[in-house]
Amino acid sequence: MTQALHLDVDPGSDDAVMIALALALPAIEMTGISTVAGNSTIENTTRNACRILELFDRTDVPVARGCGEPMVGSFETAEWVHGPNGIRGDLPDPSTGPINRHGAEFIVDQAREYGDELSIVAVGPMTNLATALALEPSLPDMVANIYLMGGAAMTTGNVTPMAEANFRNDAVAARRVVRGTRPKMVGLDATHDATVPLSRIDEYKRATQPLKTVGAWLEYPEEVRKFGGGEEPAVHDAAVVAHLIDDSVLEFEPYHLDVDTTMGPSRGAVVCDRWAVTGNEPNADVAVAADTERFRSVLVETFERL
């Protein structure tokens, strides 16, 4: 059975790996991509999305440019992590550009068209998704699932001691989405275990295209790898689609969540009621662990199709 999938992304090298996984499988129908600023500017993330589709000869997938600024403040981009203009590797110039539709509107369009056949996967700042929720409050009831790559429920952050990058970059949007969609949140608790061996990365870098560029996407700077506590890089965004391919990749538990939107050092931190001390019912399913070997197997088996 084909699974319809809309991706909301800020490419970003790990976004690119996730897109490649989704494109490689006939069981996934990529219905569209919306872009948001985050890893780089909205101009760069939108162009990068089009370049990724060009690399895989999938320019049939529509791309909609979304929000370039968070709901409050400004984005802190991460080219030092992902490469110049937000992505590494040898990518072609795009032959197509974004459609004439805002990314948030496009998310709503997709939900109305595909309904409960559609899963939405948001792996950048949650600005587009929060805006889509304002445009269509019934959005969560219209689709099958809403997955978020962001947050750190019971572990430390990666851009501040408490906060993960996507949630920190637009804490207001993250709070609206967490409180309003009953999401499946895939945060650092699980994605730090979604790693790729250095030997596999070296193998891909020596391969022909497009695997050569996939290898470049996977090769994170050494100073980034420390956040997972090891030498092997974690490919955070790819964990979500890997789980859609093999539902044993991630383990979920229900919790009540909130997100800190104050302007202090905990801005963007997830407040997870782990021991149910508030008495609030769970409002999210939280990925608490990833099976590293299953994740790696999904990547290898899927990329053999490229």
Catalytic residues, which ones?
A: 236
Q: How far apart are alpha carbons 42 and 66 in whole angstroms?
A: 7
The pair of structure tokens assigned to 280 is 């609030």
∠ Cα 171 173 177 (to 5°): 115
Q: How far apart are alpha carbons 41 and 170 in whole angstroms?
A: 14
Find out whether 94 and 58 touch, Cβ atoms under 8 Å.
no
Q: How far apart are alpha carbons 130 and 172 in whole angstroms?
A: 9
The pair of structure tokens assigned to 75 is 């984005």
CA atoms within 13 A on the CB side of 75: 23
CA dihedral 241, 243, 249, 254 (to 10 degrees): 120
